Amino acid sequence: MNIRILLFVTIVTISLTNCSVVYWATGRTLNSYAQDHLVPHYLASDDLDAICQGGTALGPLVASFERAGASVELATMVAQMGAGVCAERNAQEAELLYIGAVRKGRGDEALDNQARQIRFHGIAAKRYGDSYHRFLQHFGEWKGKCPSISEDEELYFLVGLSSGLLAILHDFASQGHAGITRDVPSVVVQASKCLDPKKWWGTPLALEAVVWLSVPGATPEGKDPFKQMEEAVKLGDQQGVRLARAFQIQAVAGKGDTEKMKKLILEHSKSVMQHPPKKEYLFLEAFAENLSRHESDKIWMKEKGHRGPINFSSFPGNKKKNTKEEDDLLKDL
């Protein structure tokens, strides 16, 4: 009898061990595939909805292989950033509905959409925060010194820092719902210096400037965050990857300066027409354009009660019309 029990236990142990080996190997293969093919495919797509839904669906699957001992931090980091975009877009939609309801004097509807907006900001903060957490898992906790980064890892380093900053911005917007630690801005500012701004489209400079503009007292003496942001935007425009513009728009959005916002949005629209986007990074381009389009739509919604042109190239009262679409949109106003 004891021999039978021992044999049964041995068989079960071997089976479980074999399964663990299979899961571990599958996880490594999946992570390798994600880094070599899935992530580049994501970055080369300008379909924000597809990317964000893909991140929402695939993120938990990829992350689950951690239970089998596989290292999947980088793939999960990108997936969670994509998932964060979904929640961010939902927050944007709720904000537009809120503005529309306020304009029509529908108080209950406005309050409901405002509550939805705050909740979606909280979800976005959690997802971007998880992306940042994966960044720390892979590169290690920041200790004031740049880690050893391979050339292939630099993009992931940039994505991780960007996710951290987005997590903080959305946590502010959600009234602290996600509980993102407040040391993130200082890490972003310091770690962004590990990347070459000219190589990475000015984004490291933009990350620094956003923190300076968002955190009271964070701007070092002798530094001008607006001037540095302009420098970052110029580098991004020239290279056809306007991620710096995304952070510029987010930094100015909370300041309440509508005329400044209009100026930046029109400059962004003009840049898109003058400098073709880099095909390998269409996702980052689409992300930046979505932010400018949303801010444009907010202005249109407040002033006219509807969204503006898709290429965010004009505002109510502008005499110049650049496209047939704008003519059709404005003819009855």
Is residue 46 pLDDT above 50, yes or no?
A: yes
Burial of 23 (0-12, 13-18, 19+ CB in 10 A): middle
Helix axes 154-173, 107-139, angle to 10 degrees: 150
Residue 94 has pLDDT above 70, yes or no: yes
Give the position of tokens 């899961």: 23
Q: What is the pLDDT of residue 185?
A: 94
pLDDT digits (tens, 9 = 90+) for 96-132: 999 999 999 999 999 999 999 999 999 999 999 999 9
Per-residue pLDDT, 26: 66
Q: Please give the span between the terminal C-alpha atoms of the chain, in angstroms, as a whole number.
A: 89
Residue 250 and residue 245: Cα distance in Å, rounded? 9
Q: For the chain, how many residues are written?
A: 333
DSSP state string for 37-71: IIHHHHHT---HHHHHHHHHHHHHHHHHGGGGT--
* Average pLDDT score, the chain: 87
Parse the chain into domains and list their residue ranges. Answer: 220-312
Mean pLDDT of 75-83: 92
Buried b (16+ CB within 10 A) or exposed e, 54-79: bbbebbeebbebbebebebbbbbbbb
Residues 6+ away with beta carbon under 8 Å from 29: none
Nearest-CA neighbor of 298 among 242, 33, 290? 290
User: What's the whole-model pTM score?
Assistant: 0.87
Closest alpha carbon to 167 in 214, 102, 231, 222: 214
